[in-house]
Amino acid sequence: MSDIVQTKRRMPTDKVLLHVAMIAAVIITLGPFVWIALSAFKTQIVLLMGDITFSPVSYNFDEVLFDRRSTYPQNFLNSLIVAGVSTTLVIVIAFLAGYSLLRMNWPRWILNAFLVWAMLFNLVPPVSLASAWYELFRTVNLSIDLVALTLAHTTLNLPLALWLLISFFREVPRELEEAAFVDGAKFLTLLRRVIVPVMMPGIVATAVLVFIFSWNEFPVALALTNNKTATVPVAIAKYVQEEEIKYTQMAAASVLSAIPALIALIFGQRFIVKGLTAGAVK
């Protein structure tokens, strides 16, 4: 590629053209988001009329957030609980298991069993898993509880987290642990004082990704929740199933639901790229 790079350097017009092309790509990528954000500040009539200029109103957000009949605050809370708790569980379990699998002389087949699990969960449509969990949780009367969804999301994201963390563990120099042991550190002290600090960027990358994936997950949440326990994606899907679709309120709810992604993008972009590419390449 450096050949192309250098050809471009000699011809700055090409570079300008490239920038123009990239800006076009950015407009195509962001345009839909801008449009839905604008729609969220319109009244239904303004949206239907297709007026280009309009005076923004906060009506839709008021309805979605503060109306007595709106379940959205509850949905938002449900999503926060499920994503927060399952991410914590995933990170703790995968961290311990990853370290154990990499450093503690497990027989090869144990490692392979976990690898098959990761592969299979990647391939299987989440709808199939949703149906499997729905049957399982129904027999233990947990099918509509947030506990069921939290456990399901934990299981769904564990293989990914395990593989990401193992790939990050490999970068930790072994001498570090040996030195800690010579100093007489116990296992948990070793993890807390030595491994966790070194692994922090990898842990954050994994946690951000797992949180977003849980927040966004739809089919399993659809199968395992009812009106009271619905998460944000399920709530938004319900808008289109109503007789008269409240488009502008759907837009407002969508804008609010993108908050975690925006926060992650602004503060954790580096981690996200790391997590997404490590997950795919390794």
Residues 190-219 that bind other proteins (CB under 8 A): 212, 215-216, 218-219
Binding residue for other proteins (CB under 8 A) from 101, 160, 194, 224? 101
DSSP string, 93-157: HHHHHHHHHHHS---HHHHHHHHHHHHHHHHS-HHHHHHHHHHHHHHTT-TTSHHHHHHHHHHHH
Q: Can you read off the two tokens belonging to residue 45?
A: 């009539």
- Residue closer to other proteins by CB (options 68, 240) is 240
- Residue closer to other proteins by CB (options 5, 244) is 5
Size of site (CB under 8 A) for other proteins: 100
CB of 156 to other proteins, least distance (A): 9
Tokens 């303004």 found at:
46
Binding residue for other proteins (CB under 8 A) from 223, 224, 225, 271? 223
Give the closest residue to 204 by CA, choosing from 83, 93, 91, 96: 91
Binding residue for other proteins (CB under 8 A) from 203, 224, 236, 271? 236
Q: Can you read off the two tokens belonging to residue 142?
A: 């947990």
CA atoms of 168 and 186, how far apart (whole Å): 22
- Residues numbered 41 to 100 that lie near other proteins (CB under 8 A) are 47-50, 92-94, 96-97, 99-100
CA atoms of 247 and 222, how far apart (whole Å): 21
CB of 171 to other proteins, least distance (A): 16
Q: Can you read off the two tokens belonging to residue 66?
A: 């503060």
Judged by CB under 8 A, does residue 107 bind other proteins?
A: no
CB of 75 to other proteins, least distance (A): 12
- Of the listed pieces 53-61, 67-75, 197-205, 267-275, which binds other proteins according to CB under 8 A? 267-275
Judged by CB under 8 A, does residue 106 bind other proteins?
A: yes
Binding residue for other proteins (CB under 8 A) from 82, 165, 210, 232? 232
Crossing angle between the packed helical segments 146-169 and 196-216, to the nearest 10 degrees: 140
